[in-house]
């Protein structure tokens, strides 16, 4: 009977396998796990309320989740795709790189605006699809899956390396405490100085890779260049 408490994991796996709404899946999974685990509705609300007050990051995450869901319901994805289609010369790879730079900049100030769930899925991915369609292609399903992976990877790379640059942030404190346990006394400022070139190199390498990778995928799935397709369409 203890295994029934893992039903939330099963709901997430099945929901993502059938490509259902991710926010709805996570919500149903959380509620179901709370009910079968003996917390009940009152216990679930108590846990959420306690963490909301005690944990700033949890509070921000829940707020972003609610706002994102509301915006998606009111056409956020369509608006994002429509916006990027009006900009010439933007490819999915270039768009992902621009997002990575933006994510890195805010990450250096320890500002997290949702990550994969709160920003990549509802904003970056529709824009990437719009960029592909603007090149005169119907988005290939396998190409879309590759774009999802690249966007998520860029999100993780930018946040992982740049949030350590924020003095007093959890990343820097973790590195400092780890070094201290190994016998190295290092100040947070010194850690930032060392991390800056590492973070920049990581971002540059990732950007170059994703641009090249996107070009390879476009050639693989669509063959001829978008410019030739657009010319033939005009003719």
Angle between helices 125-134 and 92-107 (to 10 degrees): 150
Tell me: do 88 and 176 sit in the same domain. Answer: yes
pLDDT of 210 > 90? The answer is yes
Q: What percent of the chain has pLDDT over 70?
A: 77
Give me the torsion for CA of 223, 127, 30, 113, rounded to 10°: 130
Q: Report the C-alpha gap between 140 and 8 in whole angstroms.
A: 31
166: tokens are: 């924020």
pLDDT of 232 > 50? The answer is no
What is the torsional sign of CA 15, 19, 20, 26?
positive
Tell me: do 109 and 221 sit in the same domain. Answer: yes
Q: How far is CA 152 from the centre of its chain?
A: 5
Q: Is residue 213 within 8 Å of residue 150, measured between CB atoms?
A: yes
pLDDT of 227 > 50? The answer is no
Tell me: do 44 and 118 sit in the same domain. Answer: no
- Print the domain residue range for 149: 76-234
Q: pLDDT value at position 198?
A: 94
Residue 168 lies in a domain: yes
If one counts the domains in the chain, the total is 2
Tell me: do 191 and 129 sit in the same domain. Answer: yes
pLDDT of 228 > 50? The answer is no
Which range has highest mean pLDDT (43-57, 146-160, 177-191)? Answer: 146-160
Q: Report the C-alpha gap between 233 and 41 in whole angstroms.
A: 57
User: Quick one: DSSP state of residue 121?
Assistant: I
Q: pLDDT value at position 200?
A: 96
Q: Where are the alpha helices (DSSP H) in 38-169?
A: 40-54, 56-73, 76-85, 92-107, 115, 125-134, 141-162
Residue 16 lies in a domain: yes
Residue 32 lies in a domain: yes
Q: pLDDT value at position 56?
A: 56
Tell me: do 119 and 179 sit in the same domain. Answer: yes
Residue 9 lies in a domain: yes
Q: Report the C-alpha gap between 47 and 52 in whole angstroms.
A: 8
Weakest mean pLDDT among 71-85, 101-115, 153-167, 172-186: 71-85
Residue 216 lies in a domain: yes
Tell me: do 135 and 49 sit in the same domain. Answer: no
Angle between helices 40-54 and 22-36 (to 10 degrees): 120
Select the more confidently predicted residue: 114 or 70. 114
The pLDDT of 186-199, averaged and rounded, is 91
Which range has highest mean pLDDT (21-25, 73-77, 89-93)? Answer: 89-93
Residue 162 lies in a domain: yes
Model confidence pLDDT, tens digit, residues 126-178: 888 888 888 888 889 999 999 999 999 999 999 999 988 988 777 888 888 88
58: tokens are: 């949890």
């Amino acid at each position: 009977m203890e295994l029934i408490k893992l039903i939330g994991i099963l709901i997430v796996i099945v929901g993502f396998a059938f490509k259902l709404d991710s926010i709805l899946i996570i919500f149903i999974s959380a509620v179901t796990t709370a009910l079968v685990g003996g917390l009940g509705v009152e216990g679930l609300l108590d846990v959420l309320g306690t963490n909301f007050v005690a944990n700033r990051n949890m509070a921000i995450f829940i707020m972003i989740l609610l706002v994102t869901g509301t915006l998606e319901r009111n056409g956020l994805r369509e608006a994002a795709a429509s916006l990027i289609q009006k900009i010439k010369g933007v490819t999915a790879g270039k768009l992902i790189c621009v997002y990575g730079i933006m994510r890195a900049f805010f990450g250096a100030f320890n500002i997290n605006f949702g990550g994969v769930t709160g920003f990549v899925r509802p904003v970056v991915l529709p824009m990437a699809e719009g960029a592909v369609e603007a090149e005169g292609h119907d988005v290939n399903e396998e190409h879309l899956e590759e774009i999802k992976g690249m966007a998520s990877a860029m999100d993780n790379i930018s946040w992982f390396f740049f949030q350590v640059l924020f003095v007093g942030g959890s990343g820097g404190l973790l590195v400092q405490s780890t070094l201290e346990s190994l016998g190295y006394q290092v100040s947070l400022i010194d850690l930032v100085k060392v991390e800056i070139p590492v973070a920049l190199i990581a971002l540059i390498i990732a950007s170059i890779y994703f641009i090249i990778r996107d070009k390879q995928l476009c050639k693989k799935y669509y063959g001829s260049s978008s410019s030739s397709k657009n010319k033939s369409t005009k003719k």
